Amino acid sequence: MNEILTIVSLISVPNVFMRPRENMVEADQAKRKFVHQDGDHLTLLNAYNAFCLKDFNADWCWDNFLNFRALNQAKNVRNQLQNMAVKQGLEMSSTSPNDG
């Protein structure tokens, strides 16, 4: 459930990956760090999880061509969705990265 809330939040905000014209190659290289073989949604999830691990750091986002404002907005949307899910009595569980 946790991963679903995060992905739904990420697809409801502007693109979290920045690709400025003057730094396209560097931006593409930075995005490769987050790419998941199973697709774009899990790539977004990887980027968000890294953002969380870096304590929501704006400088880290800038260095990795990630849109800090969009990631912060996704965090807020996710918190709202989680609050609604908890009020409905839904279990907040996570899957193992090895499940599947």
Domain for residue 96, yes or no? Answer: no
For 61, counting Cβ atoms within 10 Å of its Cβ (0-12 exposed, 13-18 middle, 19+ buried), the class is buried
Grade residue 91 by pLDDT with cuts at 50, 70 and 90: confident
Domain for residue 51, yes or no? Answer: yes
Domain for residue 41, yes or no? Answer: yes
Report the C-alpha dihedral over residues 45, 27, 76, 9, rounded to 10 degrees: -40
Domain for residue 92, yes or no? Answer: no
- Give per-residue pLDDT as tens, 27-81: 999 999 999 999 999 999 999 999 999 999 999 999 999 999 999 999 999 999 9
Domain for residue 72, yes or no? Answer: yes
Domain for residue 98, yes or no? Answer: no
Asked if pLDDT for residue 100 goes beyond 50, the answer is no
Residues of the domain holding 65 = 2-87
**Total number of domains constituting the chain:** 1
**Predicted pLDDT of residue 97:** 59
In terms of pTM, does the model score above 0.85? yes
